[in-house]
Structure formats: structure tokens, C-alpha cells
Chains A and B, each alone.
Chain A
Amino acid sequence: MKKLIALLLAVLMAFSLVACADAPAGGDGDVTYAIVCKDASNPYMSRMVSGFKTACEALGVKCIEKSPETTSVDDQITIVNELVAQNVKAIAIAANDAAALEATLKAARDKGVAVVTLDSDTKGSQMFINQAGVTQVAQVLVDSVYDMTGGEGEFAVLSASSTATNQNSWIAAMKTIIEGDAKYAKLKWVETVYGDDESQKSTDETQNLMTKYPNLEVICCPTTVGVLACAQTVQNTEGCKIKVAGLGLPSEMKDYVGDDKVCPYMYLWNPIDVGSCAAYAIDAILDGKVGEVGTKFTAENETEYEVMAGDPADQQIIVGPPFAFNGDNIADWATVY
């Protein structure tokens, strides 16, 4: 019995000793920016974080990265609260829900924290760092489908989760573009399926599509996890003539992109640029450089951004147009990200 008490006391003492050594770690003088991803196991998100970190170093501020284990909005709320408690100066977040973070982010802003969203927007954010305009992305996706089907035929969309803000806005914009232009009248959109950004589920959904629609010509995947699973499945199915279009990471897709391969070309923006743009935008906001909608500002990275009206964020800026990867440039980009 005495031993047990002694042991517990010893553990307590050990804790306090470690504590004394560690206590001054988070002084109030440091300026810290934090970045919160959708989930911890997404390679695209980690590229974004690396861009954010590099920019933070260049700006001379500390950087914290925190991400939930799964794409859950509950965990993101917890994380934002933890960051606010640590007196960070700014939070950049890739939101897992378009509305549920509003109260939490507003509370953070009330405490003087600058809040921007990147990758996926949500209510309550000051500024959305838009990787590419929604219509720009939808347009290149629709054009890929148009080109790969040869102007007519069946195609399907394999998305991430059915609740992802960015996926749904691209899909909605694709619908508008196709319905609004007679040029696309012969394209038949058979179904939209959801792989939840999980390899196995995306593979299963691809196989279901192949069985259900024998005349399917193109599967369009506006998600990096989905496009990889889809390309792998199509490639491994003998005699399958389906083409894959979408948004993919060059390093993951390098074996599948090329003129005679399953994916002739695909698009993406540079996630590293998105991350660094977020850090520079935060810096500009904290410096008071960002004005009303319609004005322009030049960030520390010497790039000029136009402030536009955001939806649902208060404002937004666009990082740049989507970039095409094809057989000629994929090998180079595969070494970058």
C-alpha cells in the first residue's frame, strides 16, 4: 500500500519537474499563426501546410499545424478553441462544414484573432483564400469531359464526401455550365457518386459505375484521392476504355497521366502556393493593408491580389487559375508535389 502511494507521489513529482522545465515555452511575445487542415492523413493538405510554414518562416512568425484525425467538424471546433486559448494571432482553416464553425470562428475573431479559410470555405471567416474560382475549375472539368468523350457520350462524377463544400460547389457549377450551353447537349451525366476521400470506397464506387453503365466513357473526379483510386481501377481492368478526368496530385498520378494512358491530362493548382498565399494574406490583414471589396493590395510576397466579395466568407482572393498536367510536364511536377 505504502509503495503504491509512494509511486503515485513520485509520478506527481516527476510531472511537476518536467513542468517547471517546460513552463516558459509559450511566452506572450511570440506571434503565432496556426493552420488547421481537414484531416491529418491527406497528402494534399500536407503540401498546403508546407507552403504555409515556409511563408511563416519568411515572415518571421511561429507556425502551429493542427488537424483532426477524421474529417469531423466537432474536432475542428475543439481545435480552434484550443488555438484561441493559446493566444495565436491568426488561424487559417480548411473547413469541414459550411456553417457549423460559424459561432466558434466569430468568437475567435471577437478575441482579436484573424481568421481566414483556405481550400474549403465556411461562414464566419474573414477571407477565403480561393485556390481557383469555382467557375474556372468547373469549366476546365467540363471541357476535359467534352474533349475526352469527343463531344458526346456518357460520363459520371466521382466526388469526395457528399457534404464537402468545395466539391459540391464545383459539381453545381458544372451542372450550370452544361445546361447553359448547347455545345454540351450531347453529354449525358449518368450519376454522381461519393468515395468519401477513402481509397477503398472510391475504388468500389468506380467498379460499381463500370458495371452499371457499360457505355460509360469518362469518369470525372474533382478530388485527388478519388482520381487516383479511379485511375488505378480503370488501368487494372482489362479492356476498359474509360478515360479519367479530374483534379489530381502529380506525384501520385505520374504513372497514369499521358496521351496514351487512362488520364490524358488533369488539373490542379499548386497547394504549396495556396498555403503560402494564406500566410501572406494573414500578414496583410494584420498589417491593415486589406481594404474594402474591389480594392487591391500587395502582400509581402510581392504579389497583387484583388479583394472580392466572399460567399460565405466576408471577402475572398483567388490564388491563380488551375494548372494542366499532361504527358509532357507530369514527370517534372511529380518531383515537386
Chain B
Amino acid sequence: MATKSGRTIAHVKERSLKDLLLRWESLLVLIFIAVNIMNASFSPYYLDAYNLFTSINGFLVKGMIALPMAYILLLGDIDLSVGGNVCLSATVLGIVYNATNNIWLGIAACLATGILCGALNGLILTKFTELAPMIVTLATNILFRGLSERILGDGSTGGMQSIDWFSKLYYGRVGPVPYMFIVFCVMAVVFGLVMHKTVFGRQMYAIGENKRAAAYAGIKVEKIRMFVFTLTGFICGFAAVFYCACLGSVKSNVAEGFDLEAISMCVLGGISTAGGKGTFLGAIIAIFIIGLLRYGLGLINLSGQTIRIVIGALLIAVVLFPTIRDLIKNRKAKK
């Protein structure tokens, strides 16, 4: 950018180093390291690989949902229905399994439910573009959970854990590393590559930046939104399979609060809810910051309420970071 104006390479380098250090991801890496140092020093039990992976498994279901959520936020949309979707998909898995005694049918029905729920969101939002995604998905969230409540009533459905390989989806490990962690890593790499290395990814950035301009540039905005909402639904169904393997029993209040948790992870990761900004790496680091901070604070037996306060304060502090960064930049510029 600066070479044409005749500036020296060294100058450019210095600038880019500064930019690198001032990047959101650098801050996140520092927080990530700080959280780990803090956890390891506060609790002698933190660095036990087996227990650490047990705790990581505990937040990966939410982490999986945060992956497509990053796409949704990138588009400038929001999806508050993922919790309800996971709940309904898990319910369907349990019901179909118990009715047919065939776990594969259960899993297929679960994935199909996820896709249908996501497609419903997409359909409403792309056919009636004047509707706000926040309101629509808030409503579908209530709808999905309501359906689950209607199906299950005051009972629960389960029995999936008796199938050994199915419960291994969540509990199985290679050494200390859970299968689910490996699945999550593969998903994260694929999602990251698609977001940053493909035309589709750049189109999502363009839509998030300015929907109308993107449409004039020939991007099929509504088609892409429809696809991303459906994809989110599919991942919800996929995550619900692992969630069922974890719980072995589903009732209508499971997966409560997953929506906001997934959104907080993305926002902490630097993905702007206004759309068009952020990187996938940031979101991945943020998933682990929130999850491991929870675990560390839990290990020193802070109460749930205190942990909430800490996480809330962290979110505010980190979201304020760009403002502070701009202040520093402006002061430098004045000098």
C-alpha cells in the first residue's frame, strides 16, 4: 500500500508489526495465555490433561454452534433460535429412536429436524426481508421449544446411552483426547477455510458490509442468507447428536441459553453483530477463553453467579478495546 508513495520498507514493516499487535486476535491470544496461566496457578488440578479435556468437551457442543453463528453474524443477521433447535432436534432423536429402536433413523431424523428448523428461519427471513432476524428467530425459538414441550410433556425421552458406540461419540477418547474434540477441530478448520479462502466467504463479508451494494455487485444475497441459516440448522442438529450422547436423556428444558452463549463467544472473538467484520480465528480463540475461564473459576469453587459477573465484565472490557485502541491511535496521530 505504501510502496508507491516511496516510503521505506522498514517503515511499512514497523507499521504492520504495530497493526499485528493491535489486532483483535493478538489481544485474544494474550487473554487466552493469561487465563491459562491464571488457572494453572490458582488451581493445582488445572493442568491434568484428562480433566482438562473433560471440561473442554463440556463446552464444545456450544462451541460447534458458535461456528455457523459466526457466519450468521458476519452477514449482519442473528439467530436466537439455536437453543430451541438443539432441544427439538434432540427430542426428535429420542422419540424416533424409542419408536423404531434404530439409532440411525433417530440420528437421520435429528439432522433433518435441524435442517428444517434452520430452513424455516431462512425461508421467513428471505421471503419477507423487511422482518428483523432478531424478532423472527426469537419467535421460532419459542416455537421449537414449545413443540418439544408438546411432544415430551412433563416426561423425558432417552435410553440412547445403552448403545455403546453412540455414547462414545461424547465420552470416547483417543488417549486423553475426546473424539468430539477431533470432530470439532476438523469442523473449525473447514469453517475457517470457507470463510477466509473462498469466494463464498468474501461474498459473506460483502453482504455484511453492505447488503444493497453486494446485491448490485451481483451477489445473490438472499440465496446465501437462506443457505447460511439452513447450514446453522444442520449444525444444530449435528450438535444435538453429540448432546444426546452426553445426556442420554432429553427433556424440554435442555440446551437453554445456548443461543446467547454462542453469540457471546463470537462477539468476544471480534465478530461484529453489525456484520462484515471479524475473523474466524478470533471466534475459535474466544470459544476456548470463555470455556476455560469458566472451568478455572469453577475449579477454585467460585459460585456460578460470581463466574457470570467475571465473564460479563470480560465481555464489556474486551468489546471496549477497539475504542481504547482508537484513542491511542488518535493521540499518536496528533503528536
Interface positions of A (Cβ within 8 A of B): 1, 4-5, 8, 11-12, 15-16, 18-20, 22-23, 25-26, 40, 64, 66-70, 72-75, 77-79, 81-82, 84-87, 97-100, 102-103, 107, 161-163, 168, 194
Contacts and interface: CB of A to CB of B under 8 A. Distances in A.
A79 B41 contact: no
Interface string B21-55: 11000000010011001101111111010010011
B301 A66 contact: yes
Nearest to A79: B298
Given A11-B34, A40-B303, A163 B253 contact: yes
B18 A1 contact: yes
Contacts of A78: 55, 58, 294-295, 298
B171 interface: yes
Contact of B37 (A19, A68, A84): A19
Contacts of A66: 298, 301, 303-304
B249 interface: yes
Nearest to B18: A1
Interface stretch (B95-103, B118-126, B150-158): B150-158
A5 B21 contact: yes
A70 B256 CA distance: 10
Given A12-B37, A26-B44, A99 B55 contact: no
Contacts, number: 124
17 contacts: A12-B34, A23-B41, A26-B43, A66-B304, A67-B303, A69-B304, A78-B294, A81-B58, A82-B298, A84-B51, A85-B46, A85-B54, A87-B45, A98-B249, A99-B158, A162-B153, A168-B154
Contacts of B155: 163
Contacts of A97: 156, 247, 249, 251
A26 B45 contact: yes
Contact of A40 (B48, B294, B301, B304): B304
Given A66-B303, A81-B55, 9 more contacts: A5-B21, A15-B41, A22-B42, A74-B254, A85-B46, A86-B301, A97-B156, A102-B248, A103-B171
B253 A161 contact: yes
A72 to B, nearest CB: 6
Closest 7 CB pairs of A and B: A19-B41, A162-B154, A99-B249, A85-B51, A69-B304, A100-B247, A82-B298
B180 to A, nearest CB: 13
A103 to B, nearest CB: 6
A138 B34 CA distance: 54
The A interface, classified by DSSP as helix, strand, loop or mixed, is helix
Interface residues of B, number: 49
B170 to A, nearest CB: 8
Interface of B: 18, 21-22, 30, 33-34, 37-38, 40-46, 48, 51, 54-55, 58, 153-156, 158, 161, 167, 171, 246-249, 251-257, 294-295, 298-299, 301, 303-305, 308, 328
Contacts of B301: 64, 66, 86
B40 to A, nearest CB: 8
A316 B18 CA distance: 65
Residue with the greatest number of chain B CB neighbours at <10 A, chosen from A16, A22, A86: A86
A70 B308 CA distance: 12
Contact of B44 (A23, A82, A98): A23
A121 to B, nearest CB: 14
Contacts of B304: 40, 66-69, 75
Contacts of B257: 72
A23 B51 CA distance: 19
A15 B254 CA distance: 36
A235 to B, nearest CB: 28
Contacts of B305: 40, 69
Nearest to B295: A82
A72 B249 contact: no
A62 to B, nearest CB: 11
Contacts of A18: 41-42
B30 A19 contact: no
Contacts of B246: 77, 103
B45 A15 contact: no
A108 to B, nearest CB: 11
B41 A20 contact: yes
Residue with the greatest number of chain A CB neighbours at <10 A, chosen from B38, B43, B253, B256: B253
Contacts of B295: 78, 82
Contacts of B247: 73, 97, 99-100
Nearest to B54: A81
Nearest to A162: B154
A1 B18 CA distance: 8
B103 to A, nearest CB: 16
A163 B251 contact: yes
B83 to A, nearest CB: 11
B239 to A, nearest CB: 13
A69 B308 contact: yes
B154 to A, nearest CB: 3
Contacts of A163: 154-156, 251-253
